[in-house]
Amino acid sequence: MNKKKNAAEKAVQYVRDGMKIGLGTGSTAYFAIVRIGELVKEGLRVQAVATSTASERLAVQHEIPLIPFHQIDRLDLTIDGADELDSQLRLIKGGGGALLREKITAFHSDQLLIVADESKVVDRLGNFPLPVEIVPFASEWTLSALEQLGCKVQLRKSESNNLYISDNGNYIVDCNFGIINSPEQLQKQLKEIPGVVEHGLFIGMADRAFIGHEDGSVVVIDRTT
């Protein structure tokens, strides 16, 4: 039973004819894009923006109409994945390296729908290293400032063992904080560091999550605050 596919297809049921939608990045968002492509071929009319070059290529492959960002002000909804989420729908995202574009797209969406399997649901965030996007200039200083927040830092490498470069031309640092007791405080501290472009904490942004389980069920979690 494909837990990710089930969760993604459940979320896609919220896509309505005529909507402007954001397409997320990652292994679960992949299934959402594929399903939207199937519905487009059946007559669904949507316009979409993509949060990464990989998602853009997938959308083109499945004939989902893409619209330039400058032609729209808001999105009706975005469907995206998460690396971790808690019961309050606080998220860690960025495992796929698209956290900056994902956060920009989520901010300009009326709804952010998260799709994940049950392994991504945690009591407290922090088992998954927190991705932080930084500018290459003086990156050593930025890394040092991040370490002073109490984490172990690791510049992400590509599959060819070179430094990973985001779609925006920046570095990604994976910051291992362990359990994050106050995500709200941490996000403020991260944003105060010059050189940090964006971080993978998504607080108060997700509206609903669809969690795929081994038995084939999909549990829906709504943000209560």
- Residues with a catalytic annotation lie at 102
CA 123 to chain CA centroid, Å, is 19
Helix (H, G, I), strand (E, B) or coil at 116: strand
Order of all β-strands in the sheet with 201-202: 84-85, 91-92, 201-202
Burial of 96 per CB tally in 10 Å (0-12, 13-18, 19+)? buried
Distance between CA atoms of 163 and 90, rounded to whole angstroms?
Answer: 29
Helix (H, G, I), strand (E, B) or coil at 160: coil
Structure tokens at 129: 């290293």
Beta bridge partners of 198: 133
Helix (H, G, I), strand (E, B) or coil at 1: coil
